[in-house]
Chain A
Amino acid sequence: MYAVVMSDTTPQPAHGTAPIVDPAELLSRIAEQKDRQALAELFRLLAPRLKSMMLKLGADSALAEDLVQETLLAVWRKAHLYSPERGAPVTWIFTIARNLRIDQLRRLSNKPYEDLDGIDATDDTPTGLQVVEQQQMVSRVKSALETLPDDQRQVVKLSFLNDMTHSDISAALGIPLGTVKSRLRLAYGRLRPVLEDLQ
């Protein structure tokens, strides 16, 4: 199913030849068997995207490579913590990269995020979504993001990818803080029907 999500970059393998690249399957092979081949496949699938994201932080190529390595190393170590309840693999890996950014670039504690994992683990209100559905959601959110007006998509990307605070964005774009927030609010409003479609 993931091949559908990634259809622009990952061609659907022919039946019976190459293994189907399903990141959830790769994660479970890492978690259960410490399968290095699975990690290598996950690396090939996501490292180039992670590097692009890390380069947006103002990191040079060497630092971006290091951050990608750190992210995949964390994925290797934490793979047993992944479950579909936590979203699609790419969503979970985004949160790992984000926590790394907080720790290594902002030099702040990311424990406020990690400590929530324990609460999620004991949560009694599971979403009940399967990983395939989670991946379809990512795909739909991707399409919805493309339909946002440019000024809204810009602030969303500066926040989530470039790691800029709302104040940073306000200063960089030369617009009031209130305008940054209202664009984010409008963007959320447009994404909401997709984000809240919990089938």
Chain B
Amino acid sequence: MSVVHHPDITTLMAFSAGTLDEPYALVISTHLAMCAACREQIKRIDLIGGALLDAEEEVPVEDDAVDRLFARLDTPKEAGDTINVIPKVRDVPAPLVRYLPDGLDAAPWKARGGGVWTCDLPVSANAQSRLMLLKVGAGRAVPEHGHGGHELTLILKGAYKDRFGRFGPGDIADHDQDVDHQPIAEMGEDCICLVAVDAKLNFRSRIMKLLQPFIGM
């Protein structure tokens, strides 16, 4: 898979620092599953956290801290104590499988009109933003829209073009607020994207404005 469009370096830094909201972290994680170059990049960025921890001053811990730790060592194992090699479910990269266990086709798509379907994916109750799948019919356009905030779009299947270029499987569009674009899905195959948004999408087209209350964007 040849990935052309990667996340912004500041987005990768936030991922490494652990400060992204869950939908964004999941989109980045799914990109990393599809992009060896960014997996290497993340290892380099992780060095920043390691170096900062190494450089931390030392604050004395309680005298009985080691004993308290020893007392807890025999508690049962927990999930995450072993490496989970999650089998790729058909067309779903590993980190996304938890959120979409039955594959893309089985997703509960909701038709939004104009050849656009969406599907909200469940995230932790504490998440402040939204994770969803977006399917754009082959040759159809996503209405021109600006962004109310940081938006990450990862192409899972198919491809689209906009003024930033062609986005195919594994490519990620990392857009800040105040970016306007109008993606058009390529002919031949529906384009399916994994999207994290932190604010209501500001759709500008008249039709989408009509649809907006219905879509709940």
Binding site for B on A (CB under 8 A): 5-6, 9, 36, 39-40, 43-44, 46-53, 55, 64-65, 68-69, 72-73, 76-78, 81, 86-88, 90-95, 97-99, 101-102, 106-123, 125, 127, 137-139, 141-142, 145-146, 156-157, 159-161, 163-166, 168, 178, 181, 184-185, 188, 191, 195-196
With A49-B53, A93-B53, A119-B94 as contacts: A141 and B48 at CB distance below 8 Å: yes
Binary A-proximity of B52-89 (CB < 8 A = 1, otherwise 0): 11111111111001101110110001101111111000
CB pair A90 B40 closer than 8 Å: no
CB pair A165 B19 closer than 8 Å: yes
CB pair B50 A69 closer than 8 Å: no
With A90-B50, A160-B49 as contacts: A48 and B60 at CB distance below 8 Å: yes
Report the minimal beta-carbon distance from A167 to chain B, rounded to whole angstroms: 9
B residues less than 8 Å from A113 (CB atoms): 18, 25, 29
Separation of A123 and B16 alpha carbons in the complex (Å): 19
CB pair A195 B19 closer than 8 Å: no
CB pair A185 B10 closer than 8 Å: yes
B170 adjacent to chain A (CB < 8 Å): no
Report the minimal beta-carbon distance from B172 to chain A, rounded to whole angstroms: 14
CB pair A185 B9 closer than 8 Å: yes
Residue of B17, B25, B45 with most partner-chain A CB within 10 A: B17
CB pair B65 A43 closer than 8 Å: yes
> Told that A36-B70, A141-B51, A163-B18 touch, could you supply 4 new A-B pairs with CB distance under 8 A?
A43-B69, A112-B29, A115-B86, A115-B98
B26 adjacent to chain A (CB < 8 Å): yes
A77 interface neighbour in B16, B55, B58, B81, Cβ under 8 Å: B81
A residues less than 8 Å from B36 (CB atoms): 123, 125
Stretch in B123-131, B160-168, B181-189 with 4+ CB within 8 Å of A: B123-131
Separation of A76 and B77 alpha carbons in the complex (Å): 11
Separation of A176 and B74 alpha carbons in the complex (Å): 49
CB pair B84 A51 closer than 8 Å: no
Within residues 151 to 199 of chain B, which ones have a CB less than 8 A from any CB in chain A?
Answer: 176
Separation of A78 and B78 alpha carbons in the complex (Å): 10
Separation of A196 and B54 alpha carbons in the complex (Å): 19
Residue of B nearest to A192 (CB): B44
Binding site for A on B (CB under 8 A): 8-10, 13-14, 16-22, 25-26, 28-30, 32-33, 36, 39-40, 43-62, 65-66, 68-70, 72-73, 77-78, 80-86, 94-95, 97-98, 123-127, 176
Supply 22 A–B pairs (Cβ within 8 Å), ascending by A.
A43-B69, A47-B65, A49-B53, A49-B57, A69-B72, A86-B43, A87-B43, A88-B47, A94-B53, A107-B124, A107-B125, A108-B25, A108-B126, A112-B22, A113-B25, A116-B29, A121-B85, A139-B54, A141-B48, A156-B13, A184-B9, A184-B10
With A87-B47, A161-B52, A165-B19 as contacts: A65 and B61 at CB distance below 8 Å: yes
Separation of A41 and B165 alpha carbons in the complex (Å): 53
A residues less than 8 Å from B125 (CB atoms): 107
